[in-house]
Structure formats: C-alpha cells, structure tokens
Structure 1
Amino acid sequence: MDWIALGIGLFLLGAFLMVLAFFLEAARGREGEGKAEAGGVVIIGPVPIVFGSSERATKAVLILAIVLTALVLALYLLLYW
C-alpha cells in the first residue's frame, strides 16, 4: 500500500467533505437567530485535553477524542506489534 497516496486521498476527501458541508448549509439557509457552539481537542501524547463552549459540544469532542485515540492505539499495535 502506498502510504503517500493514501494520505493525499484522505486529505482530498476531507477537503471535499468540508466544501460539501459548506454548500449544503448555505443552501439550507437559516431563518431567525442561530446558535453557534464550538469545541476542540488537543492531544498531547496519549492524553486528550478537551474544551468547548457548551456541554453538548464538549461531549461531542470528548467522544471524538476517545475514538481517535483508540484508533491511533489500535493502528499502532496492528502495524508495529
């Protein structure tokens, strides 16, 4: 498997999904006032540091961080064990 091609393909897929989400959101439009929520995660080694503007956003980012950490650990064990 060519890792460079896989990386480029995943990058392009992510960029395409972001553009698609932008256009779908713009086409749907928003009536009235919208509420923005934001969250983020900083992973230092195996420890995720999660923050968010609301409890809902923080929970979503925490779940994402746990899934990504488990995925990285699983891939590490599969590839280098």
Structure 2
Amino acid sequence: MDLNVLFDVGFILIFIGIIVLFIGMIREASKSSNQQEDKQKTQVGGVIFIGPIPIVFGSSKNIAKWMLIVAIVLFVLLVIFYFII
C-alpha cells in the first residue's frame, strides 16, 4: 500500500472528525439555549493511550464501561494496522 494513500486517508479522517466535532458543538449549543429550564446531567469520559497502554476515565461507571470498550476496539485496530504496515 502506498504511503501517500495512507497519508490521505489519515488527513481525511482528521478532517471528518473536526467537522463532526463542530456539528456536535452547534447541536449542543442550540439545544441548551432552547431548554434552559430543564436540568440535564452531563456525563464525560475519555481514553488516553500512553504507548500500548490505555488509560480510561469517566464521570460515571456507565461511561467508563463504554470508554473501556472503545479502548479495546482502538487497541485491536492499532495492532491490526501495525501488522498490516
């Protein structure tokens, strides 16, 4: 596989991610301005990879469980891509 193709695919994925991020921010901003009286509980979580080791965090057990699933999927994809290239 040509390295230029991998570069292009990576660049396109980053660009799509930025677009999705902005769309989500706009949706949340419009939703919060329309429903100021409703009390909403926000849950956050994330995955940080330091080398091959994922660090998972979340504001609740449910979100932490989902982030663990995301970490496992990302780890498997990283291993697959490592052996392909």
Q: Normalized against structure 2, the TM-score is what?
A: 0.77
Alignment-derived partner of residue 16 in structure 1: 19
Match of 2:60 among 54, 60, 65: 54
- Secondary structure (helix, strand or coil) at the match of 2:70 reads helix
- Percent of counterpart pairs with the same letter? 36
Q: Normalized against structure 1, the TM-score is what?
A: 0.80
Q: How many residues align?
A: 78
Post-superposition CA distance 1:1-42 (Å, at most 9, x none): 423322221111101111122223344x25301111111222
Post-superposition CA distance 1:26-81 (Å, at most 9, x none): 44x253011111112222222212111101110111111000000000111122xx
Worse-superposed segment, 43-52 or 59-68: 43-52
Report 1:1-80 matches (<5 A).
1=2, 2=4, 3-27=6-30, 29-30=31-32, 31=35, 32-79=38-85
Stretches of structure 2 that go unaligned for 5 or more consecutive residues are none
Stretches of structure 1 that go unaligned for 5 or more consecutive residues are none
Give the whole-Å Cα distance in 2 for the aligned partners of 1:49 and 1:5. Answer: 29
Task: State the superposition RMSD in angstroms.
Answer: 1.6
Worse-superposed segment, 2-11 or 69-78: 2-11
